[in-house]
Chains A and B, each alone.
Chain A
Amino acid sequence: GENVEQHPSTLSVQEGDSAVIKCTYSDSASNYFPWYKQELGKRPQLIIDIRSNVGEKKDQRIAVTLNKTAKHFSLHITETQPEDSAVYFCAATPSSGGSYIPTFGRGTSLIVHP
């Protein structure tokens, strides 16, 4: 089955700095890569995603890159703000038999210091 590794487990930055979270996956059949943000005690929220036919996608201060050959993808947050503090999860999703089941990384706790 799919295996997703996520690094780092904790990331501490100063407000205004950039933050980068990296994930690797194992199953070459994975073709959809969402990123979720989860604040303490809240639900995971989809913040950005990328499909295998795209190398990069940007949405305001957030960008995601994908290298299919190397099987890794990354989340980039620029000009970080204290409200960006949360746990971020990457996931890799293959499509098989009509069921699209993501395998999640273990999460990165991002702390943005004012």
Chain B
Amino acid sequence: DSGVTQTPKHLITATGQRVTLRCSPRSGDLSVYWYQQSLDQGLQFLIHYYNGEERAKGNILERFSAQQFPDLHSELNLSSLELGDSALYFCASSVEGRPNEQFFGPGTRLTVL
């Protein structure tokens, strides 16, 4: 157990819908990173937040957005869902002072039907 938590574990929804994925970093970690893992694209970085502020964006679609709240948990919002959005979504947090070392949560498996 890495100490990073994610909910829900599984999510099944239909095309066109909107979902919210939630992540709580390890106690004391200020950074949250979001990743998408699919069979054809591998593990892709989406977005990074540090202490409530967006720090970096990767291959994140405009239909996707995220935020980090004052209590440091983060939410990833996915809207107008398409079949191709089906994937595992991981968040990770990193140790303060050692930002390279990221610890992943258990992931949310999203299935879009």
Contacts and interface: CB of A to CB of B under 8 A. Distances in A.
Contacts of A101: 33, 45, 48, 56, 58
Given A44-B90, A104-B42, A106-B42, A99 B56 contact: yes
Given A45-B2, A101-B45, A102-B45, A93 B100 contact: yes
A50 to B, nearest CB: 11
Nearest to B45: A101
Interface string B84-113: 000000100010000111111111000000
A97 interface: yes
What range describes how many residues of B lie at the interface?
20 to 34
Interface residues of A, number: 23
A102 B55 CA distance: 14
Nearest to A91: B43
B55 A89 contact: no
B64 interface: no
A46 B101 contact: yes
A47 to B, nearest CB: 12
A89 B43 CA distance: 9
A100 B58 contact: no
Nearest to B49: A99
11 contacts: A34-B102, A42-B106, A43-B107, A49-B100, A100-B94, A100-B100, A101-B48, A101-B58, A102-B102, A106-B42, A107-B42
Give the top 3 A-B pairs by smallest Cβ distance, nearest first: A99-B56, A43-B104, A32-B100
